[in-house]
Amino acid sequence: MAKNRILWGILGFALVHGATAAPASLPPADYRYPADDLGAVYTPQATTLKVWAPTADTVAVELFSDPTNAAVATTPMTRDASGIWSLTLPGNQAGNYYLYQLALPQGPGGTPARVEVNDPYAHGTSANSGRTLIYDPALTNPTGWDQDQYVSLPHNVDAVLYEVHVRDFSINPNAGIRERGKYSGMVEAGTKTPQGEASGLDHLAELGITHVHLLPVNDYAGGDERQPAEAYTWYGWGYDPVLYASPEGSYASEADGSVRQREFKQLVQALHQRHIGVVLDVVFNHTAETGGGLFSIFDKVYPGYYYRTDAAGHPANATGCGNEFASERPMARKLVVDTIQYWLREYHVDGFRFDLMGILDRATMLEVYRAAKRINPNAILYGEGWDMEQVLPRQMMMTQANLRGTGVAAFNDGIRDNIKGDAGNGPARGFVQGGGAPYGGLARFWLNLKGQGTGRGDRNIPVASPNETINYDSVHDDLCLWDKLQVSAPDAPESTRIRMDKLAAGIVLTAQGVPFLQGGDEFLRSKQLVSNSYNNNDPRVNPFDWSLKAAHRDVFDYYRGLIALRKSHPAFRLTSRAAVDQAMVFATNAPEKVVAYVLRNHANGDSWRNILVIYNGSGAARNMAVSGEWQVVANGERAGVEELETAKDHLPVEPFSLIVAHTEGDGHF
């Protein structure tokens, strides 16, 4: 961290002249700045800086020629009537850094203060969120960037999402990757595991997923970006955001300068060249710090404005992270919308996952949706719609209950819990471990499989279409799937737990809705039963162990086959509630702990006339009576689009397994 930041921090001393300065006239609470030029606007001829700080008595720009040395100039900015301070620095400023120096009659601690702070709209920074970088964005474009295209899938349900942390993916030496732990390592081509399996980028292409969903890659507070990646003394998921519009520096080969911008664009470009989209996990619900903290930004620019407080004036903390970003306030909302637009335009990302989206207000998310779709009509937007807010009225918030019909999707904890039991670390069992459908029973589970509802517990929360539900059995939070199966089915032999794993993936990838996989589950990744590994630097916990791919090649092939099946058969990707109701017919006479349904009559234009799906969530072999002759393409062992066997009049289903079969016949049970 920059030395002067520690010296300045928030000193909280009274300004010599502060007491006598005339109070600035504040804009109204609903003030909204209409232009899109906050932060630094660079040209080779001059750079203009603008920051909204309506309560400041004075704002000056400290200009630095590098990340560490003293300021080369400190220049006062000019305030307009609404509190926008601006300054034009003549000449080519690329490569220089700056901080704002504000004199506040009421600083973050409530007393007069002089603070030094990064630009809230910083597009770049020196290492460890030190100083805001001025740079020429065009010079960070890799060759061919102007030809780079979004991954455009018509509907959310066409996506197969794959969640991964940049460092986890490549830091293990057995990834066979040179640039370990880095943006560039994620997209090295031709890498292999010691057993000769494709790793890294080639692995993603082989698996067939459509989008990589990256845990936060915008600048975050934890760790020291200057350590060599293979010798980090720290680890972080990145849910401690500082500068929302700058890429994180620890995943770049150099933390200073504009290396991170270039290398992140190279990552997007390389994934796009393999037809894989990039979804960013964005954490607008809280920031790493508030008040006078080293990594506090907004409270030093306009103390109090950007954070919710309760009726008693205390910081709201429904996030559990110490603060709540007040997205409902116009200039906070603008920052969210501007940031989303910026990543879409500048970095060509394909979508966003909103952390604790239920803490954000609905109006902001609707504006985000409209803005994103104007830039990329196929942008995919989803988030955690948990109902957590304590201060604002819950009908204002972007929760599962309030996003119906918006086109924004929510993680579906209903299907998650019915598949595997709850998300806790205990022995609770769901469908795949023989526990039936513990939350609302099979009738509720059917609604999940139809892509018609989300929500935890017994209560189904309707969605407008399958495009609004993210179906998953595992995510970075809580135990990963393989670890969950170990604690919930401890007496089952490994071969049975593998069947349970495959069945869980099979449900996620055949159900109506948007399938989401936690990276590494496709080869039975384990985090050694650590359920919350957000800062765990044990090399056995978070990093991918690529040797698992050869060890569990059958599981990998199963996931890959299911993905191929889903992608080549639109019947699994119905886009409306009505289409699901018309196409999807459940067997009402299925044996206990068995769900069976047919997708009828070339559903969604499918080349197959009738598709039968059977999930056997019991430890007993079952035999389903069916009419006519069926071609089986998925069973307990293998999955794909090729015919594995033919069945007539009845279909044997092994314990803890699924069947997918199709027929040109009438398709009755």
Q: Which residues sit at the interface with Ca ion, rule CB under 5 A?
A: 220
H or E stretch covering 64 = strand 58-64
H or E stretch covering 63 = strand 58-64
- Is the CB of 85 or the CB of 220 nearer to Ca ion? 220
Write the burial class of residue 328 (CB in 10 Å: 0-12 exposed, 13-18 middle, 19+ buried): middle
- Is the CB of 220 or the CB of 656 nearer to Ca ion? 220
Taking the complex as a whole, the smallest distance from the CB of residue 220 to Ca ion amounts, in Å, to 5
Do 33 and 84 form a contact (C-beta atoms < 8 A)? yes
Euclidean distance between CA atoms 581 and 574, whole angstroms: 10
Query: Of 85, 96, 92, 109, which Cα lies nearest the Cα of 37?
Result: 85
Look-up: residue for tokens 């018309």? 582
**CA-based torsion, 373, 376, 377, 378: positive or negative:** negative
Taking the complex as a whole, the smallest distance from the CB of residue 294 to Ca ion amounts, in Å, to 12
Taking the complex as a whole, the smallest distance from the CB of residue 244 to Ca ion amounts, in Å, to 12
Query: Of 169, 539, 516, 135, which Cα lies nearest the Cα of 346?
Result: 135
- Is the CB of 221 or the CB of 485 nearer to Ca ion? 221
- Is the CB of 267 or the CB of 410 nearer to Ca ion? 267
- Is the CB of 224 or the CB of 346 nearer to Ca ion? 224
Query: Of 36, 33, 14, 39, which Cα lies nearest the Cα of 82?
Result: 33
Taking the complex as a whole, the smallest distance from the CB of residue 357 to Ca ion amounts, in Å, to 23
Euclidean distance between CA atoms 550 and 556, whole angstroms: 9
Task: Copy the structure tokens of residue 665.
Answer: 């016949």
- Is the CB of 118 or the CB of 156 nearer to Ca ion? 118
Question: What residue type is 213 in one-letter code?
Answer: H
* Active-site position among 384, 417, 473, 522: 384
Taking the complex as a whole, the smallest distance from the CB of residue 249 to Ca ion amounts, in Å, to 5
Taking the complex as a whole, the smallest distance from the CB of residue 281 to Ca ion amounts, in Å, to 15
Question: What residue type is 606 in one-letter code?
Answer: D
Taking the complex as a whole, the smallest distance from the CB of residue 240 to Ca ion amounts, in Å, to 9
Residue 371 has, within 13 A of its CA and on its CB side, a CA count of 21
Euclidean distance between CA atoms 73 and 475, whole angstroms: 48
Query: Of 383, 382, 379, which Cα lies nearest the Cα of 348?
Result: 379
Give the angle 169-170-173 at the CA atoms, nearest 5°.
135
- Is the CB of 236 or the CB of 414 nearer to Ca ion? 236
Taking the complex as a whole, the smallest distance from the CB of residue 333 to Ca ion amounts, in Å, to 25
Task: Give the residue closest to Ca ion by C-beta.
Answer: 220
Taking the complex as a whole, the smallest distance from the CB of residue 438 to Ca ion amounts, in Å, to 41
Euclidean distance between CA atoms 84 and 471, whole angstroms: 44
Taking the complex as a whole, the smallest distance from the CB of residue 219 to Ca ion amounts, in Å, to 5
Taking the complex as a whole, the smallest distance from the CB of residue 56 to Ca ion amounts, in Å, to 27
H or E stretch covering 496 = helix 494-510
Do 454 and 385 form a contact (C-beta atoms < 8 A)? yes
Do 363 and 402 form a contact (C-beta atoms < 8 A)? no
Question: What residue type is 286 in one-letter code?
Answer: H
Helix (DSSP H) and strand (DSSP E) numbers for the chain:
15, 25
Euclidean distance between CA atoms 151 and 97, whole angstroms: 34
* Active-site position among 158, 263, 350, 355: 355
DSSP characters over 354-412? ETTGGGSBHHHHHHHHHHHHHH-TT-EEEE------SSS-GGGB--GGG-TTSS-EEE-
Euclidean distance between CA atoms 24 and 83, whole angstroms: 8
Taking the complex as a whole, the smallest distance from the CB of residue 297 to Ca ion amounts, in Å, to 13
- Helix, strand, coil percentages (3-state) for the chain, rounded to 5, are 30, 20, 50
Task: Copy the structure tokens of residue 545.
Answer: 């162990």
Catalytic (active site) residue 355:
yes
Write the burial class of residue 16 (CB in 10 Å: 0-12 exposed, 13-18 middle, 19+ buried): exposed
Q: How far is CA 268 from the centre of its chain?
A: 15
Euclidean distance between CA atoms 346 and 135, whole angstroms: 13
Torsion of the alpha carbons at 481, 484, 485 and 491, rounded to the nearest 10: 170
Query: Of 247, 266, 265, which Cα lies nearest the Cα of 256?
Result: 247
**CA-based torsion, 69, 73, 76, 78: positive or negative:** negative
Task: Copy the structure tokens of residue 354.
Answer: 């909103």
- Is the CB of 220 or the CB of 559 nearer to Ca ion? 220
The residues that are catalytic are 355, 384
